[in-house]
Amino acid sequence: MSLVMTRSRNLALVSGFFLLTSVPAALAAEEASLEERVEALEQQLIEAQQRAQDAESGAREERMEQFARHMEGEEGFSFNGYARSGLDIGENGKSAPGDPYLTPAGSVGGAVGRLGNEDNTYVEATLNYLQRFENGAKSHYRVMLADYSQSSNDWTAADSQLNVRQVYVEFSDLPAFTGAFENASIWAGKRFDRDNFDFHWLDSDFVFLAGTGAGVYDIAFNDAWKMNLSLYGRSFSEFPTDTNVEPETDSTDNLVLTANNYFGPVQWMISGMSAADNSERVVAGSQNVADKGVHTMLAYHGDSFFGLSEGNFKVALMAGEGLGAEVKNIGSDGNLNEDAVSTRFGVYGTTYISDNWRIAPMILAETSQDRYVKGDEYNWLTANVRLADEINTNFEMQYETTWQTMDLKPQQYAGRSDAQGHYAKVTVAPTFKPQVGGFWNRPEIRAFATYSTWSDELNDYAETDAFGQDDFTGGQWTFGVQAETWF
């Protein structure tokens, strides 16, 4: 309230002044000497200017600044979101199964190009509340609701997945923080880590660190070295701890301690994790499950297209052991074998190859051994290229071609059979945008036609996955429409 009152008072001053002074000035015109009248005028002008200036510099300006911050999401409530929703219909006139993870390799993170490969509705609604305190400190509260549905209906209560993915507070500009912590911010709660980054075209992160915990961002030891520290907890689903007796169940926690170091464009991430009694878990009939793990990533964030042209590129090498062998969703897989080892390599770049043509090539590949069962082996590689031809300010043609090769030897884990072969997809997508320009600006409304083909051998990998379905073999055409936005 105080601000409002202050403002009102200031304005009263200004208005009051005008009423009080302008009337006498008018009367004065009759009898006073020119000399007096000019002096009066000068006086009035000076006072008017002074008063006007006071009013300008008062609560009104503060409000205007506050509104500017409000509209820019820097104060009070703000709304962020991501959403995609659409249809993807096969030649049989029914929704095409699957998504970027539809191939056998997808079961271990081997995504393929997403364009024209999604028939679901996924939405994230993020509500923020930003506060500024008298001492200059800032607080950012965030809660995110998310839902995933493959139903095209408007009422999906029966299969709703709506849940709360993030709830946390983060403090910054804390006056009591000094030295290496002067510009540090601290957080606690449930969140996606700030430093996650992704291959947009595969709907896959390089690394995705998330859970419930606390951390510190932007500890600056010197100009060249910044560090972020975090502790995240993950909950492993309940599991039988004994196969002989009737299965009682138990659950456990995986605690992940992560240090993220930045040296200019170079990022070195190192994580260690421990999951209490996870070694008691029974997987594929035996108890060799990991109860600890380590994960690391060396990444480079380039501000050009590999130094060749304008754009950007990112390249990273990820490796993990034990619970760390799930190298993307860090610490989230409780079934990993104690001997599990994985190495993953990823690279992408974006640039313009002419005034209106953009290109984004990428490669993601992983090799993983003793992952769930001693002796199993998972090898896959995905290559993907997204092309866009900007026709006018509201329309562009998008093209995506993706190719994946895989050699998977799951050793019957989860009833899976060996799978060796290839998958390929080509998509053409006429795309509408409020304003074209670059790979990252949304929203988009797109139609698409996709042709995909794959080795028949891949259909035997699992009965439950897309390729395992009777009416989904060999190659196929799919057609669809989709909206996508983020802000």
Does the protein bind its own copies through residue 22 (CB under 8 A)? yes
Query: Of residues 58, 86, 100, 324, which one binds its own copies by CB under 8 A?
Result: 86
- Closest separation between CB of residue 106 and its own copies, Å? 17
- Would you say how long the chain is, in residues? 487
Distance separating alpha carbons of residues 142 and 486, to the nearest angstrom: 16
Question: 114-143: which residues touch its own copies (CB under 8 A)?
Answer: 121, 123, 125, 127, 129, 131, 133-135, 137-139, 141, 143
Reading the block at residue 179, the tokens are 């030295």
Show contacts with its own copies in window 205-234 (CB under 8 A): 210-214, 231-234
CA–CA gap between residue 220 and residue 103 (Å, rounded):
43
Chain-centre distance for alpha carbon 61 = 35
Instruction: Give, as ranges, the residues between 91 and 110 that touch its own copies (CB under 8 A).
Output: 92-95
Q: List the interface residues with its own copies, window 30-69 (CB under 8 A).
A: 34-35, 37-39, 41-42, 44-46, 48-50, 52-53, 56-57, 60-61, 63-69
Does position 473 interact with its own copies (CB under 8 A)? The reply is no
- Tell me: does residue 428 bind its own copies (CB under 8 A): no
Rounded to an integer, what distance in angstroms lies between the CA atom of residue 294 and that of residue 92?
Answer: 46
The alpha-carbon radius of gyration of the chain (Å, integer) is 30
Among 107, 228, 267, 332, binds its own copies (CB under 8 A): 332
Binding mask 364-393 for its own copies (x = CB under 8 A): ----------------------------xx
Task: Please state whether beta strands 395-409 and 377-392 pair in parallel, antiparallel, or not at all (unpaired).
Answer: antiparallel
Q: Give yes or no for a contact between 355 and 312, defined as CB atoms under 8 angstroms apart.
A: no
Which one of 319, 426, 447, 449 is in contact with its own copies (CB under 8 A)?
Answer: 447
CB of 44 to its own copies, least distance (A): 6
Report DSSP letters for 392-413, one per residue: ETTEEEEEEEEEEEEEEE-TTG
Using the rule CB under 8 A, which residue among 229, 259, 276, 428 binds its own copies? 276
Q: Is 401 in the site for its own copies (CB under 8 A)?
A: no
Work out the number of other CB atoms within 10 angstroms of the CB of residue 286.
11
- Pick from 9, 79, 266, 473 the residue near its own copies by CB under 8 A: 79
Give the nearest distance from C-beta 364 to its own copies in angstroms. Answer: 22
The Cα–Cα gap between 473 and 455 comes to 9
Instruction: Give the 3-state secondary structure percentages of the chain, helix then strand then coil, rounded to 5.
Output: 20, 50, 30
Residue 482 near residue 400 (C-beta atoms within 8 A): no
- Does residue 151 interact with its own copies by CB under 8 A? yes
> Considering only residues 181-200, where is the footprint of its own copies by CB under 8 A?
186-192
